[in-house]
Structures are given as structure tokens and as C-alpha cells.
Chain A
Amino acid sequence: MTDNKTILINPVTRIEGHAKISIHLDDAGEVRDAQFHVVEFRGFEKFCEGRYFAEMCQITPRTCGICPVSHLLASAKACDAILGVPIPKAAKLLRELMHMGQVSQSHALSFFHLSAPDMLLGFDSDPLQRNVMGLIAQQPAIAVKGIRLRKFGQEIIKATGGRKIHADFPVPGGVNKALTVAERDTLLQGLPEAIEYAQFALKLLKDYHAQHREEVESFANFESMYLGLVQPDGALELYDGALRLCDKAGNIVEDQMAGAKYLDYVAECSEDFSYMKFPYYKKMGYPGGMYRVGPLARLNVCSHIATPLANAELQVWRAHGRVQSSTFYYHWARLIETLYALERAGQLLNDPDITSTDIMVNAAPKNREGVGVIEAPRGVLIHHYWVDAGGRIEKVNLIVATGHNNLAMNQAVTSVAKKYVKANRLQEGMLNRVEAAIRCYDPCLSCATHAVGKMPMVIELKNVAGEVVDRVSRSPA
């Protein structure tokens, strides 16, 4: 009789959103495979039907509280496409500035608050301390830098949009708040310190990398295609641009794909074990058409970065190979992007039109559908709306960043589980590594299911019949 066992990690913590991981063992007690279950669903793609399209800029950010700005801006771009008129230059600058603030904030959060505790306090350290509060207690100098770096990103968001989380700022046709000279100057003053902290974080990471080479290089290291936005000349792009798909070696498979045509090359599959769907590259079918998005993918597809400090760091990153596939490199890529975002924010702040009040055009909708594509901190985000002549939403389709990574996350978890989890020695630190694989993707599961969920806090070893065979408790000793 087979005696398959399942290890359940429940909940996956220090990620944004709700998930469970189940690890399936074979008879020999080795890991057969692992699944990443997203357990929540809210239904944005349905309950937005019937709303006025301009409200989408307010509704969709409620998908996610970490990256609401991504939804704010992707939504606004989709609405602009429905209007069918170009928006004023100052509006574009301001939206991109807000985006740079949110990329900085979100990446800082991901690194300092969610992932750094593992690195700085150790994967096997006391779980009661292995979190942001523990970091504050044990390494306050570092923790404060992280807090302040995130804070600066939030300040950019607040100065542009009027509020840190869920600002009502972009509208179809532009934005509704201009940046005052005083606000612009205050941000410019805070920029050098933020850049310093980003570089500090990079050094931390590079030091860790140097000390843990073998582990880092092999951590959830598997090949895949990569998808990201690029500028016309191939430079890294986070706000506008067009899509580029590269293969595992970095060769361009599809280039300068218009975001509006995403249905030509992306399809989705629903599986019964997760509320998050599985997007894949249509031409290669499911699941062979797996690709990754996000910082790792973006740095793999771009030819260079258009700002000097970040570009220099990119060259260091690429010293180990043109394409990086170890999941750990996500963290490193995230910090390089933070540097780019801050430098780009500086460029935008120094543009004389950034304080202009010509920030909005008024127009009636010309088109019946619109697509908005942006690089959220976690990857490509697509909003697609269909409207009637009066602007009533008829249909909505959302493909979020973390969704694109679903296949990859499942693979990452399987890969790590196979390496670290031995059923006869079930250590807390090993399970944490499996979770850490997920954390590298910095999944925004609120976005990915356009929903959220929660579960009881138990780790159980169950057999196929669902009977609890063993229980691992993580209560304090």
C-alpha cells in the first residue's frame, strides 16, 4: 500500500496575501512535487461590471495595499485608451514619478521588512525574532535605514497623489493634482539619503552573496523565459514602453510587443488547486510556456539601464552571467531597480514641466475598450476594460504580476523542497527555505487573486487519506 505523505505549510508568512504550500512525498520519503495554493478570491473581474469606467482607478487599487499605485496607473492607462486622446506631458511625468516612488517603497518593504530578516538574522534563527520587529530589536541601524527608505518612497507617493495608500490621483485624461514647487524641492532634498540607503542595501546583499555563494547560486535555480517592458532602445522601463520576451539564454523571442495586444501572446489556465490562474506564453502551450516576470526578468530582458548608478550595478550583476536564473537574484535585482527608480525620480523632479498645472484633458470616450500595461514592482500588470458608449464597464480582465509567476513559483517551491526537505528530518528552517523561495518572487497575492484569504496556523504531516501522521509545532520552546 502506498503511504504518500503531504507536508502542509500553512500559512505562508511574510508575503503579501494568503497562501498555503503543500509538499507531496513519495514512498521513499523524498519530495515528489510541491504545490503553491492561493486560497483567496474576491471577484473584481465580475463586480466591476456596471460601474462607471472612471471609478476603476479607485476600485482596482483595493486589489492590493502594497502596490495600489500600480493598479492606479494601469487603470488610468486603460481609461486613457478608452478616451482615445493623449494626456498632457506633465500628467505623464507625475504618474511616472508616483510610480518611481512606489517601486522604491515596495522593493524596500520586500527587502527590509519581508526578506532581510532571513538573510540578516539567519534562515535558521529563532522564528520569534525572524521578522521586522526582530530586526528592529537586533539590528536597529539597518532596520531604521529600511524604514526610512520605504518612507521616502511613500513620501513621493503622498506628494504626487495626496495620500500614501489608495490616493485618488490619476483620472481618465491625466491627473487631478499638480506638484507644487515646495513639494518638488522637499523631495529633491530627501533623494540623496534615499539613494545612499539603496546603495547600502545593495552592499548588504552583495556581501551576503559573497559569503553564501553556493547556496545563493543554487537556490531555486531553474531556467525559464522572461517577460518585461523595455524602452524602444531596449533599456529597462517600468512605466511605459513595450513588452519583450526572452528565452533562458537572454535571446529575444518577441520584441516591442504592444501591451494592448497581450491576448495575442498570453493565455491563462485555471487549475482546481489554486484560486490564482496560470498565465503562459500561448505559442508554447501550457505548462511549457512558463515565463517569469518581475525584477529578475526585467534585468534579464533589458539591454541596459538608462541611469548611471543603476546601470553600473547591472554590469556587476551580469558579471556572473548575462542571464541570472537563481531565484535568489530576485532580491539583488530588486535593489538595483530601487536605485534606478530613485535616479529616475530625480530626473523627473528636475524636469521643468513637473510643476506645471496643465495636467488634465477633458474628453468623452471614443473607444469601446482600453488596455493599460505597466511594470508593477512584481512584474507585468495588465488591465483591460470594455465599456459601452456611456462609459459603463461591460467586462474586465486583469492579469497581475504575481499571476504571471504562478507556474514559476510552483516550480521554485518544488525545486527548493527537493533540495532541503527530507521527510525524516523535518526542521523548521527547511520549511522556511521553501517559503523563502516564494518570498523571492515577492508575490502580491492580494493582486493575484484579486482577493485575499486566511487559514489556521498549523503545520501538519498528513497522509493521503488526510489523517494527521505527524505534527510540527513552532511554539516557543
Chain B
Amino acid sequence: MTAPKKITVTIDGQQCEGTAGQTILDIASAHQIYIPTLCYLKHLSPWGGCRMCIVEVSGSNRLVPSCATPAADGSTVTTNSGRLQGLRKATLELLFSERNHVCPICPMNKGDCDLQNQAYRSGLDHIELPYLYPALPMDVSGRYFGIDHNRCILCTRCVRACEDMEGVHTLDVAYRGQRNLVIVDLNTTFGESTTCTSCGACVASCPTGALFDKSQAFRGKLNSCQTVKTTCTECPVGCGLLVFTKEDRIVEVFGDLESPVSHGHLCRKGRYETWAEPKPRLTQPLIKGQPATWEAALQYLRAAYAKAPHWQTGLLVSPRVTNETAAALVKLADKFERVGVRVAPNEAALCVQPERAEESLKRMENADAFILVGVDLPRHQGVLAAKVRTTVRKHGAKLLIFGCPPSDLDHYAAVTGHAVSLERAFWKKVSDLLLTVRHPVLLYGPEAMSPVGTTVLEKLIKAFELNQVGQPPVLVPVPTSTNSFGAVAAGLEPVEDVADWIADKPLTFLPILVGDEPDGGARWLRDRQVKSLLEQIECVVVQAAYRSPLTDLATVALPAPAWNEKAGTVTNFEGRELPVRPVLPARGRDEAQVWEELLA
């Protein structure tokens, strides 16, 4: 492939170098030449409809939107003539007169609104046009966000974000002219939408206060917040988070556009469940349900540990643990008879798979076929589901689904095998389909490691071997647990059946390091018999950030740091080590450090 051709454009008298195919705006931005925009977002497909970025190009009377116009080699561009300034001001006046922009009552007021900031830049102290005052609705039926059509400028960033990033196309524009309206599905509400996944990409892309997050509204101006980049630990994808804080509280969480994994996208879990869902925090140690000081709790534990015979001690840790905490626990392993990390059923086999697919998301973008085996992407790894959807929709990639729970992805699937069939006709169809494929990506989860799952995998590999022309499939293991890869790699023993593990040998002393699991470890009690087994153990220690029936049951409960209070790394499904950075002061003590101190 030949290297892209270099071009030169003169912008406002400055010689600027770029490559063929770049837009005028791209080249200008690369040279710190400012052109105002409203409907443009770098990571979304350009639209060119707001007419703020118009520029003059020599040799033509027409004004072009610089965000959507490729730069011509040798051309001369003017970005800020008097004519352009006047036209941009007129555009703003039209926007303000068209709908009801009442700045004083808007959550984006005072610095977070692109429309307002552009108006200030233009010195727009009043408009010359009459106001239309249309009657427009507000929809706040969504759990995490709402939309006020009065503040919408119809820039379609939300429509493009929903399509380009999440791929569900929940939003689009209906009606005509002045009656244009951004609608949800077939003109329903967010609360009633059957397609919206609450990924929040639309809200993050909105330049005004039209789309707004309920948990952020009026709680802090984004432009006055501190920001920290960290990694989401809700699943093993490891998306980048951009966290806004003020005065020891989180004000907003957006996707980090510079994340090499997710490039700014998030799913509902990382985008909202991390911070916008109120969770009861464990704020101080409890001994048998009663509040106690750390000293008292540690003293109690020292005594209980000393009393317990070594062979009756064990330690279980959540797979959300950081690599560093896992390594520290491995060092302490000899202090307990057995130490294990809880993983999902069949996940242990996944952890020891040799492949780690680097740059998986990039390769997914270039795939012409996805084969999903034993994964539940929409519910557990939303960003991967989004990548499948957008690639299928944009490039017509084929989708084959085996042994996955029903989801919206089924709509796109050429083949859906929920019950494994060994019928020849079925596999002939699969085989024929796979013969046409050139860049397949195969995503497989823990369920693919079950006997049934491995059978399917074998059949698929056989089918691929028949394809002499296309590339072999990129194999992408997708665990369910956040850092099972890192924890097992550090040397912790995977435990798939907690009840079995507990019942295996008598226990008198059992710490469970739940850590920052969002339900405080409640799910541990949902496994059969675990509750009654724990009740028989003399000293159960639970370290958790959040209160739950498990912390209630514990002999001693100790506060652990939440996801935004930890420092360390986690290993994502690609095998990448990603940083977890503290966003707020810790309100609990690191799980391993407590034991290092206790057992020193």
C-alpha cells in the first residue's frame, strides 16, 4: 500500500502540511488554527450541518464546512473574515430564536455549553430576530439521563454517537423544517425504549444541555472539576474512564477518548453503574454487626487467627482484585492453608488459554465476520457488543452466534445456534458461510470451555481449516470476571465452585476479600449452600467497600476501597496491563495490606 500523499494548504496566510484526504478542519487543528464548530466531534462521522465551521476557499464563491470538506492541495483558505464572522453570528441568532434556550435554569450553564460559549465568543449580547417560543417537551423517563428538546440545536451528534459508537440507532431525527425533532425509537420515550442500552454516548456528545445526566445536573460544573483517567473494572474489557471530581465527590464519568482499548466508548456499567447508582457504603469496621474501631477489629482478628489451627484457615478473593494486590496475596499464601480467587464457572480454563488477542477492538473493526461462542456481550461486555454491532451495520460483517443467551445481536445473526446441534445440514450451512469469510474474529467465553462448548469450537476450527483463502480466525478469549486473567497469572488458584471449595475441608478462619464488587458480595451468597456453610465457620472476615447481606453475616467486616480509590493495574482480555488510578481519597484499607500488617 502506498503512503498517503502529502499536501500543502495555506490557511490564514500560514503554510500547513497535511495528507490527502484530511479535511480542512483536521489540518487547521493540527496547526493550532481555531475554527468554531458545533456539530463536529472528532470521533464521529462528520455531518457539516451547523454551518459554524464554514470557511472561504480561494477560487470559489461557495463557503464550505471545513469539517466535512477534504483539503485541496495548493488551496488558500480563510477561516475568520468579517463575512464569516457575520454569518456565524447569524447562525447563532437563528439557533437562539428557534427554540427556548433559557440559560439560567440549564445544567450546562456557566461554561459547559458549546452554544453558550460560541455566543460569548461572538459577543452576542442580544439577537435581532423574534423568538418563536415553540412548545417542546422534556423526557426524563430514563433512569440515568433525560432530554430537553427546548435546548436542542439539532446538531445530530447524539444520533451519530448512538449509531457510530453503540450501534443501536435508538436516536434519529423526525419531521421536517421547524418541526424537526430528535426522537427515540419510533417516537417513544427513553424509559420505554426497547433499543436503548443506556450507554450514555449521546449525553456525552451533546454540546448543550439538551441531553443531560441526572446524577450530574447542577452538581458541579465540568469545566471547574479535576479530572483523572483510570480504567473501568466492571468487566475484563478495561475501557478508559475520564472521571470528573469536585470537593471529594464524583461529578461525572465519561469515556476516555484517548483510551487505547475503548477510544471513548463505555457501556452502561462503566458509564453509570460505577457512580450514579447509590450504594450503601461500609464506612467503618464491624465486629458481629456492631461498629468498632480499626484497632479493635484488627486485635480481634489477630486473636482469632492465632487461635485457628493452620490447616483450618483459608482465604478467598474477588476476581476484581488488582494485579498488585493479587501478587501481595500470593506472597501471603503460606499464612493460610489455601488461597483462591473466585472465577466464573469454566473460566479457569479460559485463564490458561495461551492466546491473548492484542488490539482486539481494532481487529474487530476490520473483521468481516464475528463468531460468538458462549459469551453474553450485551449484558457483560457492552463495549464489545457495540463493536460487533457497529462493524456489522457499517461494513456488513457476518455474525454467527453459538450458545449465547438471547440478545439484540440475534437480529443481525446469519446463524444462531442456541442449542448445539450436531446435524450435518446445520454445520454444512455454517461451513459454507465460513468459506466466504476473509477476516474472521472468534470471541469465546467461559461457556465455550464446557464440554459442549469445546465441541462447538472444534467444529468451527475444522470449518475454518477448509478456508484456504481467508485469514485464520483471531481468537479472542472473553472472560466474565474483571481481572481473572491477572489474578491467575499472579499465581492465585482459580475457584469455580465456592461451596465445594469451602466444604472441601473444615474451616475456622476465612477472609473473603470482596473488595469493590458493587453489590458488596451479595452474589456470593446466591451460590447454593454458601450461606449455610459460612454460618458454620467460626470467623468469617469480609472486606468490602459496600454493605450487603454478606457483610451483615460476617464475624468481622472491614471497609475496602472502592474502584475509584484504588491504585494498581488490571489485565484486560487482550492481556494488556491497564492502570487503575485513585480518583478520591480511600475510605477503606487495601485488602492485602490489612493482612500484611496483621500477619507480619
Contact = CB atoms under 8 A, between A and B. Distances in A.
Interface of A: 50-52, 54-55, 57-59, 62, 166, 168, 171, 176-178, 357-364, 388-392
B191 interface: yes
Interface string B389-430: 000000000000000000000000000000000000000000
A358 B142 CA distance: 27
A375 B276 CA distance: 33
Nearest to B143: A364
Interface string B216-245: 011110000000000000000000000000
Given A50-B138, A168-B109, A178 B247 contact: yes
Nearest to B190: A390
Contacts of B218: 54-55, 57-58, 168, 171, 176
Contacts of B104: 58, 62, 166
Contacts of B276: 362
Contact of B219 (A50, A360, A364): A360
B278 A363 contact: yes
A161 B105 CA distance: 15
13 contacts: A50-B138, A52-B148, A52-B214, A54-B107, A54-B218, A55-B217, A168-B109, A168-B218, A178-B247, A357-B249, A359-B247, A389-B141, A390-B139
A432 B68 CA distance: 68
A403 to B, nearest CB: 23
A357 B248 contact: yes
Nearest 8 pairs of A and B residues by beta carbon? A58-B105, A390-B141, A357-B248, A357-B247, A390-B140, A178-B247, A171-B218, A52-B140
A69 to B, nearest CB: 15
Given A52-B140, A62-B104, A390 B191 contact: yes
Contacts of B249: 357, 359-360
B440 interface: no
A57 B107 CA distance: 11
Contacts of A57: 218
Contact of B217 (A52, A59, A364): A52
Given A58-B105, A357-B248, A360-B219, A50 B146 contact: no
A392 B105 contact: no
- Interface SS of A by simple majority: loop
A59 B141 CA distance: 20
Interface in B124-139: 137-139
Contacts of B146: 52, 390-391
Interface in B517-554: none
Contacts of A388: 141
B467 interface: no
A354 to B, nearest CB: 14
A392 B140 contact: yes
B141 A362 contact: no
Given A177-B247, A178-B247, A390-B141, 4 more contacts: A58-B105, A176-B218, A388-B141, A390-B146
B215 interface: yes
A158 B104 CA distance: 17
B138 A52 contact: yes
Given A358-B248, A363-B278, A392-B138, A55 B143 contact: no
Interface of B: 104-107, 109-110, 137-143, 146, 148, 191, 214-215, 217-220, 246-249, 276, 278
Most buried by A among B143, B219, B246, B248: B219
Contacts of B247: 177-178, 357, 359
A158 to B, nearest CB: 15
Contacts of A168: 109-110, 218
A50 B143 CA distance: 17
A55 B219 contact: no
Nearest to B251: A176
B241 to A, nearest CB: 17
B531 to A, nearest CB: 29
A59 B219 contact: no
Given A52-B146, A362-B278, A171 B219 contact: yes
Nearest to A62: B104
Given A62-B104, A357-B249, A359-B247, A51 B278 contact: no
Contact of A391 (B106, B214, B220): B214
Contacts of B137: 50
A293 B220 CA distance: 36
Contacts of A55: 105, 107, 217-218
A73 to B, nearest CB: 14
B109 A51 contact: no
A362 B215 contact: yes
Most buried by A among B105, B139, B246, B276: B105
A195 to B, nearest CB: 30
Contacts of B142: 390
A388 B191 CA distance: 12
Nearest to A55: B105
A57 B139 CA distance: 18
Contacts of A389: 141
Nearest to A59: B105
Given A357-B248, A358-B248, A54 B105 contact: no
Contacts of A361: 278
Contacts of B107: 54-55
A359 B251 CA distance: 13
A50 B147 CA distance: 12
A392 B139 CA distance: 8
A54 B265 CA distance: 28
A80 to B, nearest CB: 14
Nearest to B102: A59
Contacts of B220: 176
Contact of A392 (B109, B110, B141, B217): B141
A338 B55 CA distance: 60
Contacts of B148: 52
A360 B278 CA distance: 12
Most buried by A among B137, B148, B249: B249
A388 to B, nearest CB: 8
Contacts of B248: 357-358
A277 B248 CA distance: 45
Most buried by B among A55, A59, A364, A392: A55
A130 B528 CA distance: 84
A359 B248 CA distance: 9
Contacts of A360: 219, 249
A313 B146 CA distance: 52
A54 B141 contact: no
A51 B217 CA distance: 13
Given A357-B247, A363-B278, A51 B219 contact: no
A391 to B, nearest CB: 5
A58 B108 CA distance: 12
Contacts of A52: 138, 140, 146, 148, 214, 217
Nearest to A362: B278
A317 to B, nearest CB: 40
A264 B223 CA distance: 46
Nearest to A49: B138
B240 to A, nearest CB: 23
Contacts of B246: 176
A348 to B, nearest CB: 18
A59 B218 CA distance: 12
Contacts of A166: 104
A392 B142 CA distance: 11
Most buried by B among A50, A62, A391: A50
Contacts of A54: 107, 214, 217-218
A358 B141 CA distance: 29
A183 B106 CA distance: 27
Most buried by A among B109, B217, B247: B247
A412 B148 CA distance: 46
B394 to A, nearest CB: 33
Contacts of B139: 390
A176 B215 CA distance: 12
Contacts of B278: 361-364
Contacts of A362: 215, 276, 278
